[in-house]
Amino acid sequence: MSKKSRKNGHKEQDHSQPQSALMLGIDLGGTKILAAVVDQQGRIMGSAKRKTRAERGVEDVIARIAKTAQEAVANAHLDMSLIEAVGIGAPGVADYNTGVIEFAPNLDNWTNIPLGPMLQQALGVPVFVENDVNAGTYGEASVGAAKSYASVVGVFPGTGIGGGIILNGELWRGAHNAAGEIGHAVMLIDGPRCGCGRRGCIEALASRTAIERDILGEIRGGRTSIVTQLVNIETEQITSGTLAKALEEGDALVTDIIERASYHLGVFTAAMINSLDPACVVYGGGLIEACGPAMLPIIRETTYRYLIRPVEPEHLPIIEAALGDNAVLVGAAMLASASLQGVRR
């Protein structure tokens, strides 16, 4: 990745690559594939989507990714020959150097799958593979809400809690490609059991899944909530949209649990800042998109209260993500662009 000049924690834009360069960004999820042609400013010129169908096997998924990518190029009224590289964000642990997905439980337990080389063979252009939330954080730091900052921590609460870490303009992957698994930082010893098998992870305290668990527990214990009018709690999930509706209606139970989750996230965010000293924290994901107005003020107030070094909020902002559902594919495209520059040198 090309080095960018920095001053006071901010970064200047890098203009070393021609502005006409086009990348393909792909978001590979457990249920759907999103692909888009992305320019150097992060603008989407054409996109396509289809279901993942991971249960059909690796080769079928690779073929579906390739077809979705080709459709995105066609929808942009372009030819694949104009695409310089492909960046793909995938769930799980990815080795960026080899393009191998080491483990992806949400993709039918993929293990050591050479996604990058297989997709490169199918499309005929360089392919760079990254963890999806790492890519999303990089997108926000490159062309999204955090683009003015060189060091950024991304926190993305949803079904779980994902994260990414940008230090001095570089994505920090760690010694074993597992950096950014912030959802499994233990915040409450012997707390609720997490999906990873441990207890007290922030994901078990403040993800949408954890919030749903706590709401259902309270309802079954006798508390009333408008949630029972909005969904069938025996057969339907309590989505982020349902939570937002309940908050709008002033539902006391949902408000209590959202506020508690936000407090946990604030304590957690302070711990991340105390450890990494970023210039900015960006919050995104489905839960924040739906419930951010209720959650972010509590997250901010709690975070600043627990910082080891007092700081004015304007000097360490906690901001909402700007790229929405496109964060992963845009970030993957920006990573591919930066990596291609490095290859060319």
CATH of the domain at 94: 3.30.420.40
Q: What is the pLDDT of residue 103?
A: 87
Residue 4 maps to a domain: no
Q: What is the pTM of this model?
A: 0.88
Segments forming the whole domain that contains residue 86? 13-141+325-344
Instruction: Kindly state whether residues 159 and 116 are assigned to the same domain.
Output: no
The structural domain count of the chain equals: 2
Tally of CB atoms within 10 A around 224: 11
Spatial separation of the C-alpha atoms in residues 163 and 172, rounded to whole Å:
11
In which band, very low, low, confident or very high, does the pLDDT at 320 lie, cut at 50, 70 and 90?
very high
Cα 252 to chain centroid distance, Å, stands at: 30
Spatial separation of the C-alpha atoms in residues 141 and 133, rounded to whole Å:
12
Reported as a single tens digit per residue, the pLDDT across 118-157 is 999 999 999 999 999 999 999 999 999 999 899 999 999 9
Return the closest-CA partner of residue 172 out of 159, 181, 161.
Answer: 181
**φ and ψ at 244, to 5 degrees?**
-65, -40
For residue 261, pLDDT over 50 is answered with yes
Q: What is the pLDDT of residue 195?
A: 83
For residue 321, pLDDT over 60 is answered with yes
Length of the chain: 345
Instruction: Kindly state whether residues 256 and 339 are assigned to the same domain.
Output: no
For residue 316, pLDDT over 80 is answered with yes
Spatial separation of the C-alpha atoms in residues 236 and 9, rounded to whole Å:
45
Using alpha carbons, list the distances in angstroms from residue 271 to 62, 155, 182, 264, 335.
39, 13, 11, 11, 27
Reported as a single tens digit per residue, the pLDDT across 1-29 is 333 333 334 444 443 444 468 999 999 98
Most distant pair of Cα atoms in the chain: their distance: 65
Spatial separation of the C-alpha atoms in residues 47 and 31, rounded to whole Å:
17
